[in-house]
A = this chain, B = another copy of it.
Amino acid sequence: MKVMITNDDGISAPGLSALYWEFSQNHEVFLVAPDRERSAIGHGITLNQPLRVEAANHNGLKGYAINGTPADCVKLAVLSLMSEKPDIVVSGINPGANLARNINYSGTLGAAREAAIYGIPAIATSIMGKQGHDFKYSAEFTLEIAEKAVKNGLPKGTLLNINFPNIPRDKILGKKITKQSSMVPKETIEVRTDPRGKKYHWYGVELSSDAQGLDLDEPAVNSGYISISPIQCDVTDYDFLETLNQWDLDT
């Protein structure tokens, strides 16, 4: 199959490299990635500055680096750089989970969603934690899912969001097909003072270890399972349409 890969950590990230080499063994890989880290950029795209496309050859990886967002990478690949649409777009492997509300902030998901909007099967793949990742195992499993997704098909406008626990592969308890959790973690804003006496703000967040509800993405991964969630592009709240129609508005 013809696989476009991208990420939100930039062309030199080890998670991208793991995907590249795993998929390259038996498939045609087309790599377009941001030229630097673009985490938490969500589904942003670049409209107010021109995009530059540079051929990249990073540690043997051949592809393109772009001064844009992950979603920009998919747009440029599909609309310009590739001679035909890929069979699937795979975005990752992101170091750090993309679960629950983080699906909104994630550039990894933004790229996969952009592909799904174009009707291309897509996968976002991430692994919990900040270090010690087994990208090799995650890449192998992601490849298996990608092959299944191309063989079985995905509904138009639906992508898969895979998240791995950050534990040795023989400790992983299995996989769970999950729903997006609506859990909001406890958050803080830390206010500090810079050396010139001016205040600045950082977000802080307390990681949850909630193990309830193994049918939900975050608890499943926290409990040691690989989480696979089907994510759709259509965000209409169909259940509320009729109620809203009955609101008494002047216009």
Q: Which residues of A line the B interface, CB within 8 A? A: 37, 39-48, 50-53, 71, 75-76, 79-80, 101, 103-105, 107, 110, 113-114, 117-118, 141, 144-145, 148, 152, 154-155, 157-158, 160, 172, 174-175, 177, 179-180, 182, 184, 187-189, 191-192, 198-203, 226, 228-241, 244-245, 247-251
Contact = CB atoms under 8 A, between A and B. Distances in A.
8 contacts: A43-B104, A51-B201, A71-B105, A76-B201, A80-B191, A104-B117, A148-B248, A233-B235
A236 B179 contact: yes
Given A40-B47, A44-B44, A250 B144 contact: yes
A241 B103 CA distance: 18
A65 to B, nearest CB: 13
A201 B237 contact: no
Nearest to A51: B201
Nearest to A113: B104
Main secondary structure of the interface of A (DSSP, over half): mixed
A30 B63 CA distance: 47
Contact of A251 (B47, B152, B172, B202): B172
B200 A50 contact: yes
A79 to B, nearest CB: 5
A52 B191 CA distance: 10
Contacts of A226: 251
A50 B236 contact: no
Nearest to A235: B231
Given A201-B76, A229-B236, A235-B180, A44 B47 contact: no
A184 B79 CA distance: 12
Contacts of A45: 40, 42, 105, 203
A42 B105 CA distance: 8
A202 B184 CA distance: 37
A244 B231 CA distance: 12
